[in-house]
């Protein structure tokens, strides 16, 4: 399906937005109660992870557990991911994105991650050779994402079956206990990959500022 251009400059900042420094980070989108975020930050102390969750109840659960465990390389953020990414992240800043078991949007396919114009902006924030890990328990979701990677985004990826004893998220545990097939696509950004947002700087919470993306074809 055709993808229209994302209108980044129209995104309003999340409530209580705070900017971050321009240094390499990892980002989890839809972090839920933070099970993966807490585990990843504990296992990778050399990496900084920002875990973004929109639902207040889940965010508070993640924040509470983070306060108990105390990983100083993890920053939980309560925000909608799209405006937060536009306002906070710099071009080629992110080492790894994690999108684990997103809403499959059964009644609105245009809102699936690889069908959204926003996905181009997300790629622009990713470092060269950085990765996006997209996991799902729905085979059709993975198949459609593969088709979009091949036909629209022209990005290399590796398709992986998730081990039956994996326990990164509460959803993953539930799906695997049911015996469902869980899969992930590990998407890579090759050298010289260009987007229309490569020169787009973060809005830094300024709702009234309009910054047009550079190198628009």
Q: How far apart are CA 131 and CA 94, in angstroms?
A: 9
Which tokens in the block code for residue 36? 């993966």
In terms of residues, how long is the chain? Answer: 217
Q: How far apart are CA 141 and CA 66, in angstroms?
A: 31
pLDDT for res 15: 85
Q: How far apart are CA 170 and CA 164, in angstroms?
A: 14
pLDDT for res 84: 96
pLDDT of residue 88 exceeding 60? yes
pLDDT for res 9: 85
| Residues facing 29 on adjacent strands | 52
Q: Which residues contact 137 (CB under 8 A, 6 or more apart)?
A: 101, 171, 172, 175, 180, 181, 182, 183
Q: How far apart are CA 35 and CA 135, in angstroms?
A: 15
Q: What is the pTM of this model?
A: 0.91
pLDDT for res 10: 86
Mean pLDDT value across the chain: 91
pLDDT, tens digit (0-9, with 9 covering 90-100), for 134-176: 999 999 999 999 999 999 999 999 999 999 999 999 999 999 9
pLDDT of residue 205 exceeding 60? no
Q: How far apart are CA 111 and CA 106, in angstroms?
A: 9
Over residues 198-215, mean pLDDT: 58
pLDDT of residue 2 exceeding 70? no
- Tell me the three state secondary structure of residue 140: helix
Q: C-alpha angle with apex 191: 140 to 213, nearest 5 degrees?
A: 80
Burial of 52 per CB tally in 10 Å (0-12, 13-18, 19+): buried
Q: How far apart are CA 24 and CA 91, in angstroms?
A: 11
Which residue from 144, 80, 146, 85 is spatially nearest to 120, judged by alpha carbons?
Answer: 85
pLDDT for res 8: 85
Better-scored residue on pLDDT, 77 or 209:
77
């Amino acid at each position: 399906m055709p993808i229209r251009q994302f209108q980044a400059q129209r995104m309003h900042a999340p409530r209580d937005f705070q900017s971050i420094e321009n240094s390499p980070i990892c980002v989890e989108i839809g972090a839920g109660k933070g099970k993966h975020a807490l585990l990843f930050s504990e296992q990778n102390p050399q990496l900084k992870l920002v875990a973004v969750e929109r639902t207040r109840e889940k965010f508070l659960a993640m924040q509470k557990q983070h306060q108990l465990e105390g990983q100083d390389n993890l920053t939980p953020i309560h925000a909608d991911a799209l405006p937060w990414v536009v306002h906070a992240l710099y071009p080629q800043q992110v080492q790894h994105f994690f999108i684990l078991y997103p809403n499959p949007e059964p009644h609105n396919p245009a809102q699936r991650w690889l069908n959204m114009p926003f996905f181009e902006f997300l790629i622009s924030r990713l470092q060269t050779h950085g990765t996006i890990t997209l996991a799902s328990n729905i085979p059709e979701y993975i198949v459609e994402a593969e088709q979009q990677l091949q036909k629209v985004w022209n990005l290399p990826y590796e398709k992986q079956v998730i081990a039956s004893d994996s326990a990164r998220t509460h959803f993953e545990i539930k799906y695997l206990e049911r015996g469902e097939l869980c899969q992930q696509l590990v998407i890579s950004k090759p050298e010289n990959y260009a987007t229309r947002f490569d020169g787009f700087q973060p809005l830094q919470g300024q709702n009234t500022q309009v910054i047009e993306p550079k190198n628009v074809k």
